[in-house]
Amino acid sequence: MKDDPKRYETSSGLEIPAAFDAASLDSRRFSAAEDLGAPGAFPFTRGPQATMYRGKLWTMRQYAGFSTAAASNERYRYLLERGTTGLSVAFDLPTQIGMDSDDPRARGEVGKVGVAIDSIDDVEMLLSEIPLDRVSISMTINAPASILLALLLVVAERRGISWEALSGTIQNDILKEYSARGTYIFPPKPSLRIVTDIFEFCANEVPKWNTISVSGYHIREAGSTAVQEVAFTLANGLEYVRNAVDRGLPVDRFAPRISFFFNAHNNFIEEIAKFRAARKLWAKLMRERFGATDPRSLALRFHAQTAGSTLTAQQPENNVVRVAYQAMAAVLGGCQSLHTNGRDEALALPTEESAKIALRTQQILAFESGVTATADPMAGSYAIESLTLDIERAARELIEKIDAMGGALAAIESGFIQQEIGESAYLAQRALEEKRDIVVGVNQFSEAAGISLPIMVIDEQIERDQVAGLQAFRARRDAVPGARHNLDSALEALREGAVAEKNLMPLIVEAVRREATVGEIVTAMRSVFGEHHDQGF
């Protein structure tokens, strides 16, 4: 292929091999035994379990949440009845930044991009008729993750369900909020402390719970390349591990419950290689830097979501195809959990019909495509193995650059990661505008026809009802003799614990038992920790 003038590159600037070239692979010092190994064995390139989907399919999650807890609960039960095997809760923006729905700053956003959660009553309704000891619950929440976890724990407690029976995940990845997303509350250092509190608490009290989902998804959605997604995500993961080890937690005590969350983007070959490279690199870094020996500490497990940023408002029916092959890449890359986006998500929250099609896409992959019949079916592909090596090595170089700055937190505080993502996003946009990259229906093969899909619209009355319900909750709570005193005492204990650097999780759980709202708990912690303000890199 030496006379082939074309050079095909990935988003990361890595060359896609034109054809098999044994000499080239040999020159990379590629060893099938060392670079691949067996599925379920170090360095876990081929997957974290020996039998992969032959033994157990990935968890089919559908990320959902909108308007009220009652409406979201109805959607969850609809999905469970149609075969989804795990729930993934989307919260509205006020909840994500720790505001109660009647906070003046929340006006116009209540229930819009997720479900509004203010109190224990909301979580009771959100999870009504859902067997918490049998259904895995994932909550996409970061700055107030400790509070939402506490709300779930107290709901389980009220139902007589042991915390040891609970399984699921809180995202709890605050570092990427400062670099790629923006739903932070407190400054980075106290936020990292709370993450470590959750690691420590759950290791003792909620042993099956995944205490963090270190998230490359939002880094990629903000515009990063695949290599940057791997490097920045793993660098954040290393920062969390380092903080916990510095606290005195044995690495193999908490690391088995660390999970990851990656984007399943457009370049099919690059995405499969990306997932494999991330697994391999994490295993090596955990062994090299922290001396982890438990295979569960070394074996990166990840949830994937198809790329929302690739969905188009133009010709939205094309999104069904995009989602299908992105999901296939995640499965061939060895995901443990998967969400498939709805065809209409460039327009609005997905309708029931769109959510069902997205779920059916996963089910067709699982039961009709045949890809579950063998672990790591892409192993040995020259293009896949070459790109896996390239991504691993390029991501390690970028992590080492971050190390030289003092780690992920220092790299975020200096603006390095934000600037890198911004530059990549700019270059990607230029490629679209110059038609070096093609998006079908947008900059090529466009049509004048309008949009025919029905879309979901959130009624403005929902916000008024949520606010009225919250105010009624507070009035009912405070009317009970002694209740307000008990609540104030719990919040004061939380403030004192924040000052004294105690583990805050038991104190937050106690405040939830006293029926504190999300906003009241955040206000108590903010009085000690202060509030983070973006430096505008």
Q: Helix axis angle, 518-529 relative to 505-513, nearest 10°?
A: 140
Of residues 88 and 467, more confidently modeled:
467
Are 61 and 53 in contact by the 8 Å Cβ rule? The answer is no
Q: What is the pLDDT of residue 5?
A: 55
Place of tokens 């697994």: 279
User: What pTM did the predictor assign?
Assistant: 0.94
Are 88 and 350 in contact by the 8 Å Cβ rule? The answer is no
The mean of the pLDDT values for the chain is 94
Q: What is the pLDDT of residue 215?
A: 97
Q: What is the pLDDT of residue 503?
A: 98
pLDDT digits (tens, 9 = 90+) for 383-393: 999 999 999 99
How many whole angstroms separate alpha carbon 294 and alpha carbon 339?
28
Q: Which residue in 397, 392, 395, 399 sits closest to 276, CA to CA?
A: 392
Q: What is the pLDDT of residue 6?
A: 66
Q: What is the pLDDT of residue 452?
A: 75
Collapsing DSSP states into helix, strand and coil, what is residue 180? helix
Which phi and psi (to 5°) does residue 215 adopt? -110, 110
Percent of all residues in the chain with a pLDDT value above 70, rounded to a whole number: 97
- Domain at 53-433, CATH from 3.30.420.610, 3.20.20.240, 3.40.50.300, 3.10.180.10: 3.20.20.240
Mean pLDDT across 129-141: 94
Exposed (0-12), middle (13-18) or buried (19+): which is 16, by Cβ within 10 Å? Answer: middle
Q: What is the pLDDT of residue 489?
A: 98
Which phi and psi (to 5°) does residue 136 adopt? -75, 130
Domain boundaries, the chain: 53-433, 482-529
pLDDT digits (tens, 9 = 90+) for 446-496: 998 777 788 888 888 999 999 999 999 999 999 999 999 999 999 999 999
Q: What is the pLDDT of residue 537?
A: 55
Sequence-distant (≥ 6) Cβ neighbours of residue 488 within 8 angstroms: none
Mean pLDDT across 171-199: 96
Q: What is the pLDDT of residue 4?
A: 57
Where on the phi/psi map is residue 451: left (φ > 0), alpha (ψ -120 to 50), or beta? Answer: beta
Of residues 328 and 31, more confidently modeled:
328
Where on the phi/psi map is residue 468: left (φ > 0), alpha (ψ -120 to 50), or beta? Answer: alpha
Q: What is the DSSP letter of 344?
A: T
Q: Which residue in 534, 380, 372, 354 sits closest to 456, CA to CA?
A: 354
Q: What is the pLDDT of residue 77?
A: 94
Sequence-distant (≥ 6) Cβ neighbours of residue 226 within 8 angstroms: 10, 11, 12, 220, 265, 267, 270, 271, 274, 391
Residue 11 banded pLDDT, cuts 50, 70, 90: confident
Mean pLDDT across 291-313: 97
Collapsing DSSP states into helix, strand and coil, what is residue 4? coil
CA dihedral 471, 476, 478, 483 (to 10 degrees): -140
How many whole angstroms separate alpha carbon 297 and alpha carbon 372?
25
Least confident of 106-115, 317-326, 384-393, 527-536: 527-536
Are 281 and 395 in contact by the 8 Å Cβ rule? The answer is yes
Q: Listing from the earlier edge strand, what are the strands of the sheet with 168-170?
A: 209-210, 168-170, 136-140, 86-90, 59-64, 337-339, 302-306, 258-264, 212-215
Q: What is the pLDDT of residue 1?
A: 42
Q: Is the pLDDT of residue 341 over 50?
A: yes
Of residues 207 and 33, more confidently modeled:
207
DSSP letters along 230-264, please?
A: HHHHHHHHHHHHHHHHHHT--HHHHGGGEEEEEEE
N- to C-terminal Cα separation, the chain: 44
Are 341 and 358 in contact by the 8 Å Cβ rule? The answer is yes
Are 39 and 375 in contact by the 8 Å Cβ rule? The answer is yes
Q: What is the pLDDT of residue 16?
A: 81
DSSP letters along 435-470, please?
A: TSS--BTTTBS-------S------THHHHHHHHHH
Q: Is the pLDDT of residue 27 over 90?
A: no
pLDDT digits (tens, 9 = 90+) for 391-423: 999 999 999 999 999 999 999 999 999 999 999
Q: Is the pLDDT of residue 18 over 90?
A: no
